[in-house]
Amino acid sequence: MTSPPAPPRVRSRHATASSPRDPAAAGESPAARRRRNWVTIILFLLPAIVLFGLLVLAPIALAMYSSFFKWNGFGLVPTNFIGFENFTRMLNDKIVIGDLWRGLSLIGFSLLIQLPLSLAIALLLNQKMRGRAVYRLIFFAPYVLSEVITAVLFTMILSPGRGLANELLGLIGISESTFLSEPDTVMYALFIVMTWKYFGFHMILYLAGRQSIPNELIEAAQIDGAGAWKTFRHVTLPLLGPTIRITIFLSVIYTVQLFDLVYVLTGGGPVHASETLGVTMYEFGFRRFQVGYASAISVVMFLLSLIFALGYQRFVMRRDTEGAITNMRAAR
């Protein structure tokens, strides 16, 4: 008995045969494929590179160039070259020197008060309690507000007379205080506003860092007899190190560039008591039309941020960066 004839083989359109459009089938060399891949990458990156160059690199270059000139901002390019005179002027400018000291004071307050407060609240809200999601939302909400809105809000709260702060102080028998009008109190008031605005952001970072710590490590420490403080000191705090280091970095960079919150809240006053480098730069550039000098101040701000960022990454965050690169290579 003969077997039935085999059905004709129908070639599927999904066959794996080489297509004429396949570069490998067309005989394209590996070097040509690499060049084609690089062209594709460049075409995709080109719009972002152009925008970055126009909006970031070009203003930096213009500020550096104009810092060597005495320029009022009018005209296409400055022409009155004065060399490093703007920078030497800053060395003798009491306002700029005061800005640096006030910036260091705000950085110290942030590192010693704001960040520990954020960490403590994050650890508290990591505990099981009723309504902790609502508390997290309430504490994070101020960060969502813009700095201008925050400054206007606290201008009304801290205003003398019928301001909310003075009304509350009157209820407990404390006399009226002019928080934003006294040189001795304005920096403390400014720091309170900064803390109210930004502690929720740091709190969320610490909370995310704490939740990334395996509970098995905490339970193992407790089984070994470690109390709450020893568990925090020897387990939780070291594992939160990368998060703490990045919050310190963000806090310092933000303080160096602080402008809009101060300008709307106090305008740098009274008598320059709350002025920062950003406010001084604005005053000289857009109020006094000394754009060359203002550009020199902006260059100093840029260099301070750049030097701190590179040094901090090199000497403080080096292990975190190397660990991230190692994990990426291992994931491949």
List pLDDT tens digits, range 143-167.
999 999 999 999 999 988 778 888 8
Q: 309 and 243 share a domain?
A: yes
156 and 38 in one domain? Answer: no
> Cα dihedral angle (302, 306, 308, 311), rounded to 10 degrees?
-160
Domain boundary residue among 10, 42, 58? 58
- Do 262 and 317 share a domain, yes or no? yes
Is residue 331 pLDDT above 90, yes or no? no
At 201, give phi and psi (nearest 5°): -65, -50
158: left (phi over 0), alpha (psi -120 to 50) or beta: alpha
Are 219 and 267 members of one domain?
Answer: yes
* Measured distance CA(249)–CA(180) in Å, rounded: 28
Same domain as 127, residue 38: no
Contact 230, 192 (CB under 8 A): no
Nearest Cα to 316, choosing from 254, 253, 252, 242? Answer: 242
Instruction: Give the integer Cα–Cα distance in Å for 222 and 229.
Output: 11
Q: In this predicted structure, which of 4-8, 54-58, 245-249, 269-273 has the lowest mean pLDDT?
A: 4-8
Whether 174 maps to a domain, the answer reads yes
Q: Nearest Cα to 179, choosing from 191, 189, 193, 192?
A: 189
Whether residue 229 is contained in a domain is answered as: yes
**Using an 8 Å Cβ cutoff, are 252 and 301 in contact?**
no
Indicate the number of domains in the chain. Answer: 2
Assess if residue 4 is contained within a domain.
no
Structural domain includes residue 238? yes
Tokens 């067309």, located at residue: 26
Question: Residue 291: its pLDDT value, please?
Answer: 93
pLDDT in tens, 57-93: 999 999 999 999 999 988 877 889 999 999 999 999 9
pLDDT at 19 over 50: no
Domain shared by 52 and 101, yes or no = no
CB distance 214 to 130 below 8 Å: no
- State yes or no: pLDDT of 18 exceeds 50: no
Supply the mean pLDDT for the chain: 87
Q: Is the pLDDT of residue 185 over 80?
A: yes
Give the three-state DSSP class for 28.
coil
Q: What is the Cα gyration radius of the chain? A: 29
pLDDT at 243 over 90: yes
Q: Domain check: are 52 and 103 in the same one? A: no
Residue 235: which of 124, 123, 328 has the closest Cα?
Answer: 123
Q: What 3-state DSSP class applies to 81?
A: strand
Express as a percent the part of the chain with pLDDT over 90.
66
Question: Is residue 72 domain-resident?
Answer: no
Provide the CA 58 distance to its chain's centre, in angstroms.
22
52 and 135 fall within a common domain? no
For residues 9 and 300, what is the distance between their CA atoms, to the nearest angstrom? Answer: 76
Residues 39 and 137 in one domain: no
Domain match, 326 and 263 both: yes
Residues 173 and 302 in one domain: yes
Domain membership of residue 6 (yes or no) is: no
Residue 66 lies inside a defined structural domain of this protein: no
| Residue ranges making up the domain that contains 46 | 27-58
DSSP string, 123-170: HHHTS--TTHHHHHHHHHHHHHS-HHHHHHHHHHHS-TTT-HHHHHHH
Comparing CA positions, the residue from 224, 293, 222, 242 lying closest to residue 80 is 293
- On whether both 105 and 33 belong to a single domain, the answer is no
Q: Residue 265 sits in a domain of what CATH number?
A: 1.10.3720.10
Mean pLDDT of 44-50: 94
Query: What CA–CA distances, in Å, run from 18 to 37, 127, 248, 282, 311?
Result: 20, 60, 56, 65, 54
Helix (H) or strand (E) holding 51: helix 30-52
> Residue 65 domain-assigned?
no
Task: Specify the pLDDT at position 330.
Answer: 59
